[in-house]
Amino acid sequence: MIGLLCTSGKEEKYSALFHSIFKSASRNKNEAIVIFTVNNIDFSNKTFKGSLISGESIKPINFKLPSVIFNLSIQHKPSDIKKIRTLFDMDDFTLVNEVNRFNQLMLMEMLSSSESLIKYVLPFTKYTGGTLYTLFKEPSSILIMPQKGSSFSKIIYLEQLNSDIDSFIDDINNKVNFILPKNYSLALKSPKLLSYRNHIPIFRIYVQKGINGIWRLLTSTVNLKEADAPQSSLKELQTIALESINYISKFIPNLGNCFIDFVLATQGNPYFMHLGGWDHKLFSAKLDQSIQKEFCENLINYADFCVSLQGRN
């Protein structure tokens, strides 16, 4: 049995979403898939109430917790976050993706400790009006974004058009005050970036563990319709994404599926922007169902690998 933990209030939606795909993906594996929320777990008895995806139907179930659980939820309430941590700390269970939203400052610090990956990390600092002066000793461009999460709509990109650093920083501060939490944002010094109508394309590479727990490419997307990375650039981004996630996994070993976002300089150089875990956009109608089926196949194969590891301990 494989468990999928979803956000509270979305059990019915996720059950319908995964039913048809898992039905074909697990046809020859006889896997039972259960979907539930953290609020429907009885921690003292190690049981849950949820939905069983089996054969042609979706049925209610009250059963013991599966030994492998994939976290496909985003938790905001402190009480729910505490429950996730409790589940993660329980013996005899593997929780894949304990969290799905990450502190990007922490991730940039991780990548900066790698001799081979640091070149893909832009100079960064926590954002305050004063700290910007440490970044700008010469004309440059800047990205401001939240420290946590991976929202495209909250990224500010500005190009410095002259050598007046004071007025440039004033312009940045004025824009940031309307959009971002000042004490919880990052400032990144950047070269001139590829952009379309004042919007920068962000290239998202999805990676996932599958057979033998090996990271593999799943698919890639871009947030702007008019933007399309050259095939050579896309292949480079995929290579960097796999190298990055294998390195990050040394620090965050319980990851099983995630995405990495990149931006491109006008000269083609790629730079890291975000890492995130589960992304519901993978199951949007815009993506080919074969990608969703592959996601489910990988998930089943990785669950089998996790079970084999449990047997060795």
Domains and CATH numbers, the chain: 2-99 (3.40.50.20), 121-190 (3.30.1490.20), 203-311 (3.30.470.20)
**pLDDT (mean) for 214-224:** 94
213: region left, alpha or beta (phi > 0 left; psi from -120 to 50 alpha): left
Angle at CA of residue 179, ends 178 and 183, nearest 5°:
95
Q: Tens digits of per-residue pLDDT, 246-296?
A: 999 999 999 999 999 999 999 889 999 999 999 999 988 777 889 999 999
pLDDT at 112 > cutoff 70: yes
Mean pLDDT, range 222-232, rounded to an integer: 77
Instruction: Kindly tell me if the per-residue pLDDT of 138 is higher than 70.
Output: no
Confidence of residue 95 (pLDDT cuts 50, 70, 90): very high
pLDDT digits over 150-181, tens only?
A: 888 888 888 876 667 777 777 777 777 666 66
* CA–CA dist 104, 273 (Å, integer): 8
Distance CA 125, CA 127 (A): 6
Task: Say if residues 241 and 205 touch (Cβ distance below 8 Å).
Answer: yes
Residue 311's alpha-carbon distances to 304, 307, 308, in angstroms, are 11, 6, 5
Q: What is the mean pLDDT of residues 69-84?
A: 94
Average pLDDT, the chain: 88
**Residue among 208, 199, 202 at smallest CA distance from 282:** 208
Instruction: Say yes or no to pLDDT of 24 above 80.
Output: no
Which residue, chain included where needed, has tokens 């495209």? 152
Report pLDDT for 134.
66
